[in-house]
Amino acid sequence: MPILDAAKKYVKVTARKNAFNKKTKLTMKNAIRKVSDAILVKDVTGAEKLFKSAQQAIDKAMKKGILKKNTAARRKSVLVKKIVALKSK
């Protein structure tokens, strides 16, 4: 346990930030999972609609510093490639 008051406060702040980060990560992962499920079912229009929400979730995570810029771009790119491949079939 921390002894100094500042250290005690830091533990609380860290726990609060952890909770926010977990929530943002979970939202992002669920959005990506929904898009992937729509792609597996071969639902092009559904996947495109869900991609917009996934893109927003990824961008929010990047803005909050949970993801790096290139990681966010890569995740969006992978989803777009899968949707385009599904369209072409």
Tens of pLDDT along 18-64? 999 999 999 999 999 999 999 999 999 999 999 999 999 999 999 99
CATH code of 80's domain: 1.20.58.110
Range of the domain at 79: 5-88
pTM of the model: 0.87
Residue with tokens 């921390």: 2
Total tally of structural domains belonging to the chain: 1
Q: Looking at residue 3, what is its pLDDT?
A: 82
The tokens for 40 are 């597996």
The tokens for 41 are 């079912």
The tokens for 9 are 């406060």
The gap between the terminal CA atoms of the chain, to the nearest Å, is: 59
Task: Please provide the DSSP assignment of the chain as one string.
Answer: ---SHHHHHHHHHHHHHHHHHHHHHHHHHHHHHHHHHHHHTT-HHHHHHHHHHHHHHHHHHHHTTSS-HHHHHHHHHHHHHHHHHHHH-
